[in-house]
Amino acid sequence: MKKLAVIVLAATALAGCQTIPVTSSNPNAEMSRTGQPALVSFGLQNTDFEYAANKAVQEFLESPFSKKPGGGRWVVQMGEVVNDTTFRIDTASMTSRMKIAMTKTGQFIFTGATGRERTDFVADSRQLSQSKLFDKKTVARSGTVIAPDLEMSGGIRQRTVVGADQRQQQLEYEFDFRVVERDTGLEIFQSFIPIEKLGSNKSFAW
Amino acid sequence: MKAIGILSAAAILAGLPAAAMAQSGSLRVYTCDTTISSQPPLRIEDESSLAGAILEDPSLITLPNGMKAVQFSVRYAKRLLPSSRILKVRYTVDWTDDCGRRVTNGARTVDGLILNPGQYQTVQSTAMHADAARAVLRIYVSDN
């Protein structure tokens, strides 16, 4: 009887030490590309960015403004995307996926001439006409760059909620994006994608 | 609509572009390199209803901007009550154009919802390409 009590006590103590696995509200969180069971962590993972990007683009496409009046593609410039989380993340993990999905819809095209993702290539190419090295017929002409119609910007936010018993914590992420139209200044698309992750308070999220 | 379908099939057989009238009223012209799919516009593979998440009123709609979307509702089955089991419902929507060609943009994403006892939820899943015209909704309840 005494032995049984010891075993039960030990088992209870060990069960207490067991870490609670992290569960995510992202339906793709447990999908693995490695052939091994997927790792789900408190941090933001590839599957989170993929899921949020696809959902965000879907929400944009539901807008009555997703098709450009008069036809053609909207020219979009990337604005600022704020990382307001405790993690050092490159927001391009999110925006690149959104840009790919939006471009594939055939309704949007992104510009490299203006905005946060502006490349010097466009402006520098105009300088080449002043050099004797280059064939004038092959250099970029002035007045050919297409101005953006829209700007996409947003932010990734995080909140941490700890249970009253200090055993569990929940990390709440918000992927908040908006698109503003140049002429009217109106915000024509919005998307707000939440992802929640729940796990042991003993696991550090950062 | 039937007449347009016959005309489209005839036009394809003749090697000419076919025309389809979207619900928005705009004329869409497309060329099929295969015969037109004979499948209904919305097909459903429902494995969730038997597992307790009852699929209700699935329909294929056209949004005011001409994009297609699948709408459906999921209801927690009364027969499971008074259970405290939370159901993890997962679904995918695969889109094809009028010719039956797959629309791959956004195709790899599994979506989902959590259904608590007694709960009812409505979902809309929008196609990620303007050519998407037909959909296959696969819905199931995840065990883990």
Whether the predicted interface score ipTM is above 0.95: no
Is the distance from CB of A147 to CB of A185 less than 8 angstroms? no
B109 or A187, which is more confident: A187
Give the whole-angstrom CA distance, residue B27 versus residue A74. 21
> pLDDT value at position B52?
93
Average pLDDT over residues A81-106: 93
Which one of A61, A107, A108, A196 would you mutate to disrupt binding with B, by most B Cβ within 10 Å of its Cβ? A61
Whether A27 and B65 lie within 8 Å, measured CB to CB: no
> pLDDT value at position A58?
92
Domain ranges of chain B: 1-34, 37-142
- Which stretch of A56-65, A139-148, B22-31, B90-99 has the lowest confidence by average pLDDT? B22-31
B41 or B26, which is more confident: B41
Distance from CA of A170 to the nearest CA of B (A): 17
- To the nearest whole number, what is the mean pLDDT of chain A? 89
> pLDDT value at position B61?
96
* Residue with tokens 């992802």, as numbered in its chain: A195
> Which chain A residue has its CA at the smallest distance from B89's CA?
A27
pLDDT band at A150 (very low <50, low <70, confident <90, very high): very high
What are the residues facing B72 on neighbouring strands? Answer: B123
Is the distance from CB of A110 to CB of A76 less than 8 angstroms? yes
Average pLDDT over residues A188-193: 94
> pLDDT value at position B16?
41
> pLDDT value at position B8?
47
SS3 string of B27-91? Answer: EEEECCCCCCCCCCCEEEEECCCCCCEEEEEEEEEECCCCCEEEEEEEEECHHHCCCCCCEEEEE
* Residue with tokens 């919305």, as numbered in its chain: B42
Q: Map out the domains of chain A with their CATH numbers.
A: 46-111+147-206 (3.40.50), 120-145 (no CATH)
Strand A74-84 to A150-162 pairing:
parallel
Whether A62 and B124 lie within 8 Å, measured CB to CB: yes
> pLDDT value at position B37?
61
* 3-class DSSP state of A84: strand
Give the whole-angstrom CA distance, residue A133 versus residue B31. 47
The fraction of chain A above a pLDDT of 90, given in percent, is 69
Whether B109 and A61 lie within 8 Å, measured CB to CB: no
With a cut of 80, say whether residue A3 has pLDDT above it: no
Whether B112 and A61 lie within 8 Å, measured CB to CB: no
Whether A104 and B127 lie within 8 Å, measured CB to CB: no
Whether A64 and B65 lie within 8 Å, measured CB to CB: yes
pLDDT band at A17 (very low <50, low <70, confident <90, very high): low
CATH 2.60.120.380 fits B37-142, yes or no: no
Which residues of A are less than 8 Å from B130 in CB distance?
67, 105-107
Read off the pLDDT of residues A107-147 as tens digits, 9 standing for 90 and up.
Answer: 999 999 999 999 999 988 988 988 999 999 999 988 999 99
Number of CB atoms found within 10 A of residue A89's CB: 15
Highest mean pLDDT among A12-16, A109-113, B34-38: A109-113
> pLDDT value at position A155?
96
Chain A interface with B: residues with Cβ < 8 Å? 25, 27-28, 30-31, 50-51, 54-55, 57-59, 61-67, 101, 104-107
